[in-house]
Amino acid sequence: MKYDIIVLGSGPGGYVTAIRASQLGFKVAVIEKENLGGICLNWGCIPTKALLKSAQVFDYLKHAADYGLKVDNVDKDFGAVIARSRGVADGMSKGVQFLMKKNKIDVIDGFGKVKPGKKVEVTAADGKVTVLDADHIIIATGARSRELPNLPQDGKKVIGYRQAMTLAEQPKKLIVVGSGAIGVEFAHFYNSMGTDVTIVEFMPNIVPVEDEDISKQFERSLKKSGITIMTNASVEKVDTSGSGVKATVKTAKGEEILEADVVLSAVGIKSNIENIGLEDVGIATDRDKILVNSYYQTNVPGYYAIGDVVPGQALAHVASAEGILCVEKIAGLHVEPLDYGNIPGCTYATPEIASVGLTEKAAKEKGYEIKVGKFPFSASGKAKAAGTPDGFVKVIFDAKYGEWLGCHMIGAGVTDMIAEAVVARKLETTGHEILKAVHPHPTMSEAVMEAVADAYGEVIHL
């Protein structure tokens, strides 16, 4: 078969790329070795949010009295919670199947390997090999849980995120290694379900990519919920010979041994670039990433790469944006390179975290003279009424020109609020323009306006 475009991988990078290519009139095929939707829909973004929703509902029930309600004998069915999450994931994967049919995209099951001469070799589950031709081949093979040499995953006592979503039994004690989005989301989920959770983080602050004020507030919130947090700490080795697991943790005070039923390794991801033919084609890589230009072209004409396999933020919405930009460039449309400085990041624990742009520290390091504003949700009528007063909105502006340098939020529902800052920064909106844009009351989002007002010395409700 000859195609205009073949996409390797059907995650949020691959399937979105394929659909946009089809919309542009290309004959498209997607090669997928497992489930349509990739890690995000099947083992990442979507099923984790289903788990976290169950945790949120459980928390509400446990604190019903705070809202003047009486609920007796509150309990959870851990197996049913896991089953609901898998059901949501399966439904989303079926939705991608529908989209493939709707857009007349051929889905080819099997393991794809790029070959010279713009060919892709596909090995099916039964061993049958098919060779396909295309004018353009886009690699979107994603990533997997990274394994550390001193923390090998056996899938039972030392696990990655995939196993964390499908444990047959709820662990009584859990150690989470790493406090990025994956680590803290699972820490929050299991803690809410009643598991004794300890987070071990190598850096001085948890969620270390975030603004320091966010990290400190988040640490207070997690500790308040009963999670033990160890920063400036590293797991040196694990012993799985007994009924549980013993982790040797190195801290400034020395080494101590933590005991748990399970250790979750959440120390980052590893790009899926092995054994997919890159060396045969001569596609350049560096430090686990495929090298591409601003339009995702590799060094070999006709071969492209997007998503977690290329440099940049490993986020679903980034992969989708890269794929769309890539095929629009192939189609000859006028496109502008993606602005990686204006990519929102979200963490869906409780409280949620959302951010975009520079942190306060980064802005100062770049030499900006800045204006900083903060507005706590404890002063928000909507947050108080909802029973979610923890957190704040923090904004950072260039004092000279009013450029919105960064926005950092922590609180209930802030992942649904961050887009205001993303769009405003894209449009080069100034602080005064945000301040004079009327925000609805009472809402959580008016905290953005209030934070901007604080930066300019005009805050009303604080």
**Residue 415: per-residue pLDDT:** 97
Examine the domain organization and report whether 395 and 297 are in the same domain. no
Q: Verify that 192 and 323 share a domain, yes or no.
A: no
pLDDT in tens, 321-350: 999 999 999 999 999 999 999 999 999 999
pLDDT over 90 (residue 42): no
Average pLDDT of the segment spanning 179-192? 96
91-142 pLDDT tens trace: 999 999 999 999 999 999 999 999 999 999 999 999 999 999 999 999 999 9
Looking at the fold, whether 41 and 91 belong to one and the same domain comes out as yes
* Domain carrying residue 121: 2-145+270-340
Residues, the chain, total?
A: 462
Single out the residue in 215, 238, 267 at which a domain terminates: 267
Q: What are phi and psi of 64, to 5 degrees?
A: -55, -35
Q: Does the residue 227 lie in any domain?
A: yes
Pair 180, 261 in one domain: yes
Give domain status of residue 462, yes or no: no
The whole-angstrom separation of Cα 264 and Cα 282 is 36
Is the pLDDT score of 289 beyond 90?
yes
**Taking each helix axis from N to C terminus, what angle separates 78-102 and 14-23, rounded to the nearest 10 degrees?**
20
On whether the CB atoms of residues 458 and 435 are closer than 8 A, the answer is: yes
Query: Whose CA is closest to 217, among 226, 209, 206, 228?
Result: 206
For residue 398, the domain's CATH number is 3.30.390.30
Please check whether residues 140 and 9 belong to one and the same domain: yes
Instruction: Give a yes or no: residue 248 inside a domain.
Output: yes
Report which of 68, 57, 1 is spatially closest to residue 31, judged by C-alpha positions.
Answer: 1
Q: What is the pLDDT of residue 38?
A: 86
The pLDDT of residue 178 is 96
229 and 296 assigned to the same domain: no
Q: Residues within the annotated binding site for FAD?
A: 49, 112, 308
Closest CA to 343 of 360, 377, 320, 327: 320
Q: Is 460 within a domain?
A: no
40 with 116, same domain? yes
Higher pLDDT: 259 or 35? It is 259
132 and 281 both lie in a single domain: yes
Q: Is residue 222 situated within a structural domain?
A: yes
- The CATH number of the domain holding residue 87 is 3.50.50.60
Same-domain check for residues 141 and 30: yes
Is 136 catalytic? The answer is no
Residue 172 · residue 259 · CB < 8 Å: no
Residues 190 and 249 in one domain: yes
> Last residue of some domain: 285, 305, 340?
340
DSSP state string for 182-250: HHHHHHHHHHHHT-EEEEE-SSSSSSTTS-HHHHHHHHHHHHHTT-EEE-S-EEEEEE-SSSSEEEEEE
pTM over 0.85: yes
Output the average pLDDT for the chain: 95
Residue where a domain stops, chosen among 317, 340, 363: 340
Active-site residue, from 63, 432, 441, 461:
441
Query: Is residue 90 packed enough to be buried (19+ CB in 10 Å), middle (13-18) or exposed (0-12)?
Result: middle
Kind of pairing between the strands at 106-109 and 303-305: unpaired
pLDDT at 304 over 90: yes
Residue pointed to by tokens 């099947």: 42
The number of folded domains in the chain is: 3
Same domain, 278 and 248: no
Residues 15 and 135 in one domain: yes
Q: Hey, what long-range contacts does 373-376 have (CB within 8 A, 24 or more apart)? A: 373/397, 373/451, 373/452, 373/453, 373/454, 373/455, 373/456, 373/459, 374/213, 374/451, 374/454, 375/447, 375/448, 375/450, 375/451, 375/453, 375/454, 375/459, 375/461, 375/462, 376/462
Q: Are 211 and 372 in contact (CB under 8 A)?
A: no
Residues 402, 353: contact at Cβ < 8 Å?
A: no
